[in-house]
Amino acid sequence: MNTDEMIELCKRHTMYTWAAGGAVNPLPIDRAEGIFLYTPDGKQILDFNSQLMSVNIGHGNPKVIAAMKEALDKLIYVFPGTATEIRAKVSARLARLVPGDINTFFFTLGGAEANENAIRAAKLYTGRQKILARYRSYHGATNATMQLTGDPRRWANEPGMPGVVHVFDPSPYNYSFGESDEEKTARNLEYLEELIMYEGPQTIAAMFIESVTGTNGILPPPEGYLKGLRALLDQHGILLVCDEVMAGFGRTGKMFGFEHGGIVPDIVTMAKGLTSSYIPLGAMGVSDAIAQHFRENVFWGGLTYNSHAFSLATADAVLDVIEEDGLVENAANLQSVMRSEMDRLIEKHPSVKEGRCIGLFGMMDLQKNSRGEPLAPYNGSHPAMVALGKAFMEAGLFTFVRWSSFMCNPPLCINEEELRAGFAIIDQCLGVTDEAFEG
Ligand SMILES: Cc1ncc(COP(=O)(O)O)c(C=O)c1O
């Protein structure tokens, strides 16, 4: 099949996500290895977003592929009511890896299903119905998780599950909460406390947060926020659910994002990096107290592919690579390189407003004038941003460009030289947005 035929059939017979299919211009990919993608005509493209911030160990890792082949010969699938060695092994391994008393796991196929089951667990455990979530968030595309999601992808899907209350996070540009970390944390938590009072704390089962917000800004929480939030929610018997689907498994320079805040949530959800997207798998991990509740009470949830043996074998091999190759440490070490490259671009390009990064989780924001107004409006576009995306692709760099920002999330196996090479490509392309800068 030639490339044009492939694209034409994909467009004719499949639906693309978050888009009108006719407007999609899919990137033709033949194979992928390490930090690179290859088009059918052999063009090499640096994957600067780990696809959907998910191929944490890089593409086509031979150790994982060998383990997957071995697993195929042993056991692919049995129903969720069974006990298997791989289910025992991976759940015990996660109990060791996830800090605190999160020792019991419910396996799903992806992140949205993990969050769906976290909603269910929180409601059943507390007997309460409402959920708090933040505007700057994405939690999945199923009915309930779409309602938790704060970003505009929710709008066309409303109304969905009732009982979700959205709140502000202490964002970097929301100066009404103050400028210093201390002020942002204190004022945001005061606001939240008042909001909880009006909603009725006895009606709220849980609050969902991305420990480090992903698509909606790469926003590490200000100092003290996670500890303060944990204490406030505890005071009212509201569970804290940390969505680690994107931030987990080393992306932020720690195994899980919430570790930066020195807290342990009641429930943690994960997917993406758990198998590095080599095969679908997600999980919800619960505290010992919640686990005990569901030993005594029915957990009213199930999935055909719960605890899928082949997915779990893949996760086990991926976790070996993350641990043996020191990928969490590599992400932590390269943070300063990403920071220095971002600072260099801010200094050099008038259209670059700001860059944020934690580990190898990064985003840069572009501005249209020296007052710092975003180049494109919220949920909108600008011809210069479209041109920037094209320039990245032509120069051999894949990443997400959305609204006024672009992502810097390479696989965690990248080295310093390769990371700097990625930023050198970005540097070359930013002339496009500098031309749109109005001064
Ligand atoms: C933070 C977060 N939560 C949940 C999800 C949903 O995961 P999935 O697409 O595997 O259902 C995503 C996906 O991007 C995510 O980034």
Atom number, ligand 1, closest to the C-alpha of residue 282: 10
pLDDT above 90 (res 175): no
- The per-residue pLDDT for 35 is 98
For ligand 1, say whether the CB of 225 is within 6 Å of any of its atoms: no
Mean pLDDT, all residues of the chain: 97
For ligand 1, say whether the CB of 251 is within 6 Å of any of its atoms: no
Summarize pLDDT for 361-372 with one digit per residue, the tens.
Answer: 999 999 999 999
- The per-residue pLDDT for 310 is 98
Domain boundary among 324, 344, 362: 324
Pick from 24-28, 173-177, 228-232, 339-343: least confident: 173-177
pLDDT bucket at 121, cuts 50 / 70 / 90? very high
Q: What is the mean pLDDT of residues 199-228?
A: 97
Q: What is the mean pLDDT of residues 266-275?
A: 98
Domain housing 377: 3-57+327-436
Domain boundary among 324, 356, 377: 324
- The per-residue pLDDT for 172 is 63
pTM (two decimals): 0.98
Candidates 407, 331, 268, 334; CA nearest to 56 is 331
Same domain, 281 and 348: no
- SS3 call for 156: helix
Same domain, 320 and 337: no
Summarize pLDDT for 126-139 with one digit per residue, the tens.
Answer: 999 999 999 999 99
CA of 53 to the centre of ligand 1 (A): 10
Same domain, 245 and 221: yes
- Quote the DSSP letter at residue 301: -
Distance CA(72)–CA(15), nearest Å, equals 30
Residue 359, Ramachandran bin (φ over 0: left; ψ between -120 and 50: alpha; else beta): left
Same domain, 319 and 334: no
Lookup: tokens for 95: 């109990």
For ligand 1, say whether the CB of 138 is within 6 Å of any of its atoms: yes
**Which residue minimizes the CA distance to atom 4 of ligand 1?**
139
Same domain, 206 and 340: no
Domain holding 79: CATH number? 3.40.640.10
Domain holding 38: CATH number? 3.90.1150.10
Query: Is the separation of the CB atoms in 218 and 212 below 8 Å?
Result: yes
For ligand 1, say whether the CB of 246 is within 6 Å of any of its atoms: yes
Same domain, 400 and 414: yes
pLDDT above 70 (res 355): yes
Same domain, 361 and 314: no
Same domain, 31 and 120: no
CA of 81 to the centre of ligand 1 (A): 26
For ligand 1, say whether the CB of 243 is within 6 Å of any of its atoms: yes
Residue 168: exposure state from Cβ atoms within 10 A (0-12, 13-18, ≥19): middle
Same domain, 319 and 332: no
Query: Is the separation of the CB atoms in 259 and 97 below 8 Å?
Result: no
- The per-residue pLDDT for 179 is 84
Domain boundary among 324, 341, 371: 324
The arrangement of strands across the sheet holding 204-210 comes to: 102-108, 282-287, 267-270, 239-243, 204-210, 130-134, 164-167
Q: What is the mean pLDDT of residues 254-273?
A: 98
- From 211, 246, 269, give the residue whose CB has the most ligand 1 atoms within 8 Å, as the site to mutate: 246
Distance CA(133)–CA(268), nearest Å, equals 14
pLDDT bucket at 176, cuts 50 / 70 / 90? confident
Q: How many domains does the chain have?
A: 2
Greater confidence, 342 or 175? Answer: 342
For ligand 1, say whether the CB of 139 is within 6 Å of any of its atoms: yes
pLDDT above 70 (res 174): no
CA of 438 to the centre of ligand 1 (A): 36
SS3 of 49-112: CHHHHCCCCCECCHHHHHHHHHHHHHCCCCCCCCCCHHHHHHHHHHHHHCCCCEEEEEEECCHH
Same domain, 186 and 291: yes
Give percent of the chain above pLDDT 70. 99
pLDDT above 90 (res 13): yes
Same domain, 318 and 228: yes
Give percent of the chain above pLDDT 90. 97
Same domain, 160 and 124: yes
